[in-house]
């Protein structure tokens, strides 16, 4: 098994050194992990992310640990890049400078509006729900116009705080999944949602079933911000994935994908 979404102290809101995450993964018997720390470039407010200047230090730190633990576990280097169309060229320059194994895209600030933090207006019940969902799916679709990433993280993150729209957005999601399939992208199954107010994985069971129907590949990540959360809730999600029909998870090496079998935890 793998955990393809681990954070580090570089993001300024995780705890524990990188080696503690690796040791937790080894203790769980995982075959491979991928550090996938935040790169968010946004002028509006301070970001809980490494800065562009810190990317070389982050990448090199992972390379050192990759060699140190190569006989015990596979260690990969990735970035979770927050979508911001104003900085695409800058982001692509950063990505192209380093031999990252995987680049993931996420959407925390559609149109500059915060849908993820506990201090946000969205978290505290402000803003029209339908309007925010429309904004989220519009920006998610725009994100798919670009080709700098391999994986989409927590694709239905908009549901994090349990706020539900008055209408279905099934049509919008179907269009997005069709594009994902056409672009041969991978969808992340992110277990952190079990610990959020929504109490559900990202994406939901319904969306996961549609991903399988479309033949969309998946990978698996805990989104751990503490070493104790490596592999968290995998015992809950693995039976779900198997019941849907998934038998393999996608892994990456220098942006090239391969697969490993899903095994019970």
pLDDT 10s digit of each residue in the chain, 265 long?
A: 999 999 999 998 999 999 999 999 999 999 999 999 999 987 655 467 999 999 999 999 999 999 999 999 999 999 999 999 999 999 999 999 999 999 999 999 998 899 999 889 999 999 999 999 999 999 999 999 999 999 999 999 999 999 999 999 999 999 999 999 999 999 999 999 999 999 999 999 999 999 999 999 999 999 999 999 999 999 999 999 999 999 999 999 999 999 999 987 6
Q: What is the pLDDT of residue 265?
A: 67
Q: Are 144 and 180 in contact (CB under 8 A)?
A: yes
Task: Specify the 3-state DSSP secondary structure of 150.
Answer: coil
- The predicted-structure confidence for 90-123, as pLDDT tens digits, reads as follows 999 999 999 999 999 999 999 889 999 988 999 9
Q: What is the pLDDT of residue 47?
A: 66
- Provide the residue range defining the domain that includes 179: 2-261
Distance CA 263, CA 121 (A): 40
Distance CA 264, CA 241 (A): 10
Q: Report the CATH number that the domain containing residue 173 is assigned in CATH.
A: 3.20.20.140
Distance CA 141, CA 172 (A): 9
Distance CA 62, CA 10 (A): 12
Number of folded domains in the chain?
1
Distance CA 181, CA 176 (A): 9
The neighbouring-strand residues paired with 188 are 219
Helix, strand and coil percent figures for the chain, each rounded to 5:
40, 20, 40
Distance CA 116, CA 34 (A): 22
Q: What is the pLDDT of residue 43?
A: 66
Q: What is the DSSP string of 153-202?
A: -STTGGGTT----SS--HHHHHHHHHHHHHTT-EEEEEGGGGGSTT-S-B
Q: What is the pLDDT of residue 48?
A: 79
Burial (0-12, 13-18, 19+ Cβ within 10 Å), 23: middle
List all residues 6 or more positions away from 13 whose beta carbon is below 8 Å from its beta carbon: 7, 48, 225
pTM of this prediction exceeds 0.85 = yes
């Amino acid at each position: 098994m793998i955990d393809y979404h681990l954070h580090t102290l570089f993001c300024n809101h995780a705890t524990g050194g990188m080696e503690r995450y690796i040791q937790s993964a080894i203790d769980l018997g995982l075959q491979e992990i991928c550090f996938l720390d935040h790169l968010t470039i946004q002028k509006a407010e301070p970001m809980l992310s490494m800065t562009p200047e810190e990317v070389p230090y982050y990448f090199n730190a992972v390379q050192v640990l990759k060699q140190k633990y190569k006989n015990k576990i596979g260690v990969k280097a990735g970035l979770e890049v927050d979508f911001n169309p104003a900085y695409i060229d800058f982001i692509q320059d950063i990505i192209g400078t380093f031999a990252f194994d995987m680049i993931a895209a996420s959407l925390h600030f559609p149109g500059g509006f915060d849908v993820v933090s506990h201090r946000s207006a969205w978290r505290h019940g402000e803003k029209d729900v339908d309007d925010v969902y429309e904004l989220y799916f519009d920006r998610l679709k725009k994100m798919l116009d670009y080709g700098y990433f391999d994986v989409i993280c927590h694709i239905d993150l908009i549901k994090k705080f349990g706020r539900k729209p008055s209408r279905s957005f099934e049509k919008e999601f179907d269009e997005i999944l069709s594009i994902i399939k056409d672009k041969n992208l991978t969808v992340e199954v992110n277990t952190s949602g079990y610990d959020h107010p929504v109490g559900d994985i990202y994406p939901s069971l319904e969306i996961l079933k549609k991903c399988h129907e479309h033949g969309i590949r998946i990978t698996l990540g805990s989104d751990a911000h503490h070493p104790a959360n490596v592999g968290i809730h995998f015992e809950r999600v693995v039976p779900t994935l198997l019941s849907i029909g998934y038998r393999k998870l996608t892994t990456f090496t220098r942006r090239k994908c391969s697969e490993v079998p899903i095994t019970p935890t």
